[in-house]
């Protein structure tokens, strides 16, 4: 996590090949196991919502897909207007997953609150991917 910018960054080694990690990012059932329910699909232009519980449903759109390498989503359109990016890099017998949540407006109270809360939360969320994949 970066303390001085409007970007949250995480990276996590996952003991699975990129094709398996990609499934966790792009198959709704697996995605919901480690984060939240939503009809995510690896198709540029696909619009969907994520059920963020007490934070409500957040509108999203897939903006970049490079199968088994990169997924970028416009997140919380009309609310945070930020971007989630997952980049997968093969590493040994597993995958290094790089994650970035960018675009927080630190001049707005909501943007600052989201940045601070998600900065603490994202490492925990990303760490739930490996256990979700272990059930496959």
pTM: 0.93
Across residues 108-135, what is the average pLDDT? 94
Across residues 111-117, what is the average pLDDT? 93
Give tens-digit pLDDT for 17-70: 999 999 999 999 999 999 999 999 999 999 999 998 888 899 999 999 999 999
Among 44, 107, 118, CA closest to 76: 118
What pLDDT does residue 5 have? 52
| Phi then psi dihedrals of residue 9, to 5 deg | -125, 140
Give tens-digit pLDDT for 69-85: 999 999 999 999 999 99
What are the structural domain ranges in the chain? Answer: 8-134
Angle at 85 between CA 30 and CA 133, to 5 degrees: 25
CATH superfamily, domain at 8-134:
START domain (3.30.530.20)
- Please check the confidence at residue 121 and state whether its pLDDT lies above 50: yes
């Amino acid at each position: 996590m970066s303390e001085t910018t409007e970007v949250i960054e995480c990276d996590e080694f996952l003991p699975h090949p990129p094709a398996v990690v990609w499934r966790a990012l792009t198959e709704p059932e697996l995605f919901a196991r480690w984060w939240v329910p939503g009809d995510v699909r690896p198709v540029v232009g696909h619009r969907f919502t994520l059920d963020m519980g007490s934070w409500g449903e957040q509108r999203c759109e897939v903006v970049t897909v490079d199968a088994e390498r990169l997924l970028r989503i416009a997140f919380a359109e009309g609310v945070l207007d930020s971007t989630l990016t997952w980049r997968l890099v093969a590493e040994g017998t597993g995958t290094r997953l790089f994650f970035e949540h960018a675009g927080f407006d630190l001049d707005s109270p909501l943007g600052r609150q989201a940045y601070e809360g998600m900065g603490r939360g994202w490492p925990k969320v990303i760490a739930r991917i490996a256990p979700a994949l272990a059930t496959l």
